[in-house]
Amino acid sequence: MSKKLFAEWLGTMFLLMTVVGSGIMAERLSGGNVAIALLGNTIPTGAILVVLILMFGPLSGAHFNPAVTLAFAIRKEISPLESVQYVVVQIFGAVLGVIIAHVMFDNPLIDPSTHARTGTGQWTGEFVATFGLVATILGCLKTRPEAIPYAVGLFITAGYWFTSSTSFANPAVTIARGMTNTFSGIEPAHIAAFILVQLLGAIVATLTFKWLLIEDSLRANK
How many domains does the chain contain in total?
1
Domain of residue 69: give its range. 2-221
Question: Which are the contacts of 120, defined by CB distance < 8 A and separation ≥ 6?
Answer: none
What pLDDT is stored for residue 146 in this prediction? Answer: 96
Each of the 222 residues of the chain gets a pLDDT tens digit; together they read: 999 999 999 999 999 999 999 999 999 999 999 999 999 999 999 999 999 999 999 999 999 999 999 999 999 999 999 999 999 999 999 999 999 999 999 999 999 999 999 999 999 999 999 999 999 999 999 999 999 999 999 999 999 999 999 999 999 999 999 999 999 999 999 999 999 999 999 999 999 999 998 855 555 555
Q: What separation in angstroms does the CA of 40 have from each of 51, 95, 133, 196?
A: 18, 22, 21, 28
CATH code where residue 180 lies: 1.20.1080.10
User: Which residues have CB under 8 Å from 104's CB, separation 6+?
Assistant: 17, 21
The alpha carbon torsion through 123, 125, 128, 130 (nearest 10 deg) reads -80
Helices 148-162, 34-60: crossing angle, 10 deg rounding: 150
pLDDT of residue 220: 54
Cβ partners under 8 Å of residue 80, min gap 6: 73
